[in-house]
Structure 1
C-alpha cells in the first residue's frame, strides 16, 4: 500500500477523531450527523478495499462466491455511501440553520435526490454496475445550496462577528471548495483509461492532495472551535 494512500486514511481518521472529541466535549446534537458522516467514510473506504483481494485465487467457498457474484466490485457500496453521505451532510446543515424556509429547501433537496437515486437503480438495474449519472454534479449542486443557505443566514445574524470561531463555517468552506474543484475532474472520468497514464497520474495526485487538505480543514475546524470554547486545553488545578 502506497504511503500517500496511508496518509490519506490517517487524515480521515484524524478528522473523525477530532469531530468525536468535539462532540464528547460539547455534547452538541447539531454536530452528530457530521461525526457519523466521517466515521461512515472511514468504514466504507476500509470495506471498499475488498476488491483488491478478488484479484487472488483463494480456495475458499465465500471468496469464490463473492468473486463470481455482483459484489465482486465495490460500486454498490459507494452508491449506498453516496446517498447516505448526502443525507448526513444535509442533516448537519439542517440542524445548524434556524430559518424555516431554508430547512424546507434542504428537506426537499434530500427527498428529491434520494427518491431519484432509488427510482433510477430500481428501473435501470445498474446498482451493482455503475454510479448514478452525474452523481458528483448533483451532489455538488446540493451542497452548494446547503452552504449558500448557511452563508445567507450567517450574514444576517450576529454570529457573523465571530464566524472564525465556528466549526460550521470552516466545514462549509472546505466542502464547497472541494466539490467545486473536483467535480470537473469527475466529469472527465471518461478519459480514465489505462492508456492515459498522464491523466491517471494527475488524477491520483490531485485527489490525494485535495482529500488531505479537505480532512485537514475538518481537523482544524473542530480543534479551533474547541479552543475558542475553552474546551481544548484542560483547566489548571488550583
Structure 2
C-alpha cells in the first residue's frame, strides 16, 4: 500500500511539474515544492521502514506545514486571513521547535499543524466563495488544491490522535484513502483548471 501512495504522489508531482508554465505563480512554486518534498520524504520513509523512520517524518512536519502557510499567504487576498495564517504558523513553529525539548509534544505537532491548516483552508474557502472565482470554481486550481488538502488534513486529525494507540493496522487504509483523494483532487485541478497568474 505504501507503494501505491508513493505512486499517486509521484504522479501528481510530475503533472504539477509539467503544468508549471500553465500556472506560473508564487502559489504554484510553493505547491510544487510541497509535492516534491512529500515524494522525497515518502521514498526515504519507505526505504527506512524497518530501521525506523519517525525522525524523517518529524523533519518533514516542519516543511509540510510551513509550505502550506506560504501557499495560503500567496493565495489569500483578505488581510484578516493573511494575519491568521502568519499568527498561527508562528505558533506552530514555536510548538514544533519546543517539541525537541519537550519530547511529549512531538506526538501533537502533526495534530496541531493539521488543525491550524484546516482552519486556514476553511478561511480561504470562505474568501473564495465570496469572490468572482466562485463562478468558475471547477476550473480554478486553488479550489481543487484546497478541497484536497482540507479533506486530507481534517481526516487525519482523528487518525493522528489515536495513532499511538492504534492496534488495528487496517485503519491505516483511512490514511491511504485520504492521501489518494487529495492527490486525485490535485491531478484533476492541474489538468482541468484554466491558466492562472498572480
Deviation (angstroms), 1:133? 3.0
Give matches, 1:163-202, under 5 Å: 163-192=137-166, 196=167, 199-200=168-169, 202=170
Within a 5 Å distance, the mapping from 1:66-215 to structure 2 comes to: 73-121=52-100, 123-124=101-102, 126=103, 132-192=106-166, 196=167, 199-200=168-169, 202-215=170-183
Unaligned runs of 5+ in 1: 55-72, 231-238
Question: Taking structure 1 as the reference length, what is the TM-score of the superposition?
Answer: 0.75
Q: Distance in 1 between matches of 2:48 and 2:148?
A: 30
Equivalent residue of 1:48, what SS?
A: helix
What is the correspondence of 1:28-43 to structure 2 with a 5 Å cutoff? 28-43=25-40
Deviation digits for residues 13-51 of structure 1 (CA, Å, limit 9, x no counterpart): 111112112213332222111110110011111112343
CA gap of 1:53–1:174, structure 2 versus 1, over 3 A, is: closer
- Give unmatched runs, 5+ long, in structure 2: none
Which structure is larger by alpha-carbon Rg, 1 or 2? 1
* Aligned counterparts of 2:156 and 2:23: Cα–Cα separation in 1: 33
Return the alpha-carbon distance in structure 2 between the equivalents of residues 187 and 40 of structure 1.
24
Aligned equivalents of 1:26 and 1:165: distance in 2? 12
Q: What is the root-mean-square deviation of aligned Cα atoms in Å?
A: 2.0
Q: Distance in 1 between matches of 2:49 and 2:160?
A: 22
